[in-house]
Amino acid sequence: MLSQRALQVQPSPTLALSAKAREMKQQGIDVLAFTAGEPDFDTPDFAKAAAIEAIHAGYTKYTATPGIPELREAISEKFWRDNHLRYSPDQIVVSCGAKHSIFNALMALVDPGDEVIIPSPCWVSYPEQVKLMGGVPVIAPTEESNDFAPYYDAIRELITPRTKVLMLNSPCNPTGAVYSRQTLKEIAALAIKHNFWVIADEIYEKLIYEGHSHTSIAALGSEIYERVITINGLSKSHAMTGWRIGYAAAPLKVAKAMICLQDQMTSNACSIAQYAALGALQGPAEWYDTMRQRFDARRKRMVEGLNQVPGIRCWTPLGAFYAFANVEGLKERSIDGFDFSDGDGVSAYLLEKARIAVVPGSGFCAPGYIRWSYATSEAIIEAGMDRLKSVFSS
Ligand SMILES: Cc1ncc(COP(=O)(O)O)c(C=O)c1O
């Protein structure tokens, strides 16, 4: 008999849908995939070169569990340069992707029965990881009309003596929301008053549009700094999803606990990928601007295209690379017997009739929505918007 843990965990719907779209393409079916959770750009040459150099230099053995000292130093400098955050290298833990960093953080903090507040729509893995710890995910809904920002009052009402952690994700996957300094200040005040931790997942930090800027909640004062685990990584900032490098920065006692847990689970992240990450962090900052500008143009085109379909309403995302479209306006319609009562039905219709793969909002605790990734070429976005229009105009 499998463990209760294994029996209760749900597979990631985003990974499953990406795999399905890939499989259909391999069968020669002309699928337009908008499922990607990764930049479609190539990893920059300066990161690749650092990896190749590391191989030739023989850096192919175990490293210290929390990462090579040069990388922890470079991450510490990055936090100061980009986020006004002082983390010493010994407060930094490098792991196999930000997903692993979040897992380590939850493992270090959450006991069975502890509650973890998760503003939603939320990234698919947060509730599942909390459940794997024996914790209780407590969903705090946010709304489009409030720019998908967490409500102070809604969160306050959910706080109980068992509240241990609040998950924050700005810029947010799937909504594209970017939380204001004021929102973060309010959350920080709650965390301090009610004595809970904040895990701040800042993986999309470099992808923010329309002149908005990123604020790290840990930088809002020394009291909140002591309660935050800041998560980041190279996957989205440097198109390095396959290299699997993420990192966490935390108060020393939490960092030490995370290192100890990682010691027993995976040891260090791949040595070669760590050198690639070092090369990436030391590379030119213009890389981000070029990528952001491309994403920005696609973002505008996609939002425009989605809003042209009667029954679909798409809020303009301010960060990340997803358009999160509300499809509740399609509820009254039904084409070829497909049920449009939620995003699942609409997504099934799109795959079957338009050969468009998207991710239904149910996996993000938002069944009335569909997530469209614009981390794909301009040509595919154009073709996708044309197909979308034509299947709904029929
Ligand atoms: C919000 C969020 N956090 C973390 C991750 C995981 O990143 P990594 O590939 O570094 O594990 C993702 C990936 O899609 C994400 O969307």
Q: Supply the DSSP string of 145-162, one letter for each residue.
A: GGTTPPPHHHHHHH--TT
Q: Residue 209: its pLDDT value, please?
A: 97
Tell me how far apart the alpha carbons of residues 346 and 168 are, in angstroms, rounded to a whole number: 29
- Among 50-59, 97-106, 363-372, the minimum mean pLDDT is found in 363-372
Are 190 and 159 in contact by the 8 Å Cβ rule? The answer is yes
Indicate if ligand 1 lies below 6 Å from the C-beta of 364. Answer: no
| Section 124-143 average pLDDT | 96
Which domains does the chain possess? 4-42+286-393 (3.90.1150.10), 45-281 (3.40.640.10)
**Residue 291 — φ and ψ, nearest 5°?**
-65, -45
Res. 99: pLDDT tops 70:
yes
Indicate if ligand 1 lies below 6 Å from the C-beta of 97. Answer: yes
Res. 11: pLDDT tops 80:
no
Res. 394: pLDDT tops 70:
no
H/E element, 118: strand 115-120
| Section 83-98 average pLDDT | 98
What is the average pLDDT score of the chain? Answer: 95
Res. 148: pLDDT tops 80:
yes
pTM (predicted TM-score): 0.96
- Percent of the chain past pLDDT 70, that is, above it, reads 99
Are 75 and 202 in contact by the 8 Å Cβ rule? The answer is no
At residue 158's C-alpha, the angle toward residues 230 and 229, to 5°, is 10
Best residue for ligand 1 mutational test, from 43, 125, 178, 240 (most atoms within 8 Å of Cβ): 125
Q: What angle separates helix 125-132 from helix 98-109, to the nearest 10 degrees? A: 40
Indicate if ligand 1 lies below 6 Å from the C-beta of 235. Answer: yes
Q: Residue 139: its pLDDT value, please?
A: 97
Best residue for ligand 1 mutational test, from 173, 204, 240 (most atoms within 8 Å of Cβ): 173
Q: Residue 18: its pLDDT value, please?
A: 72
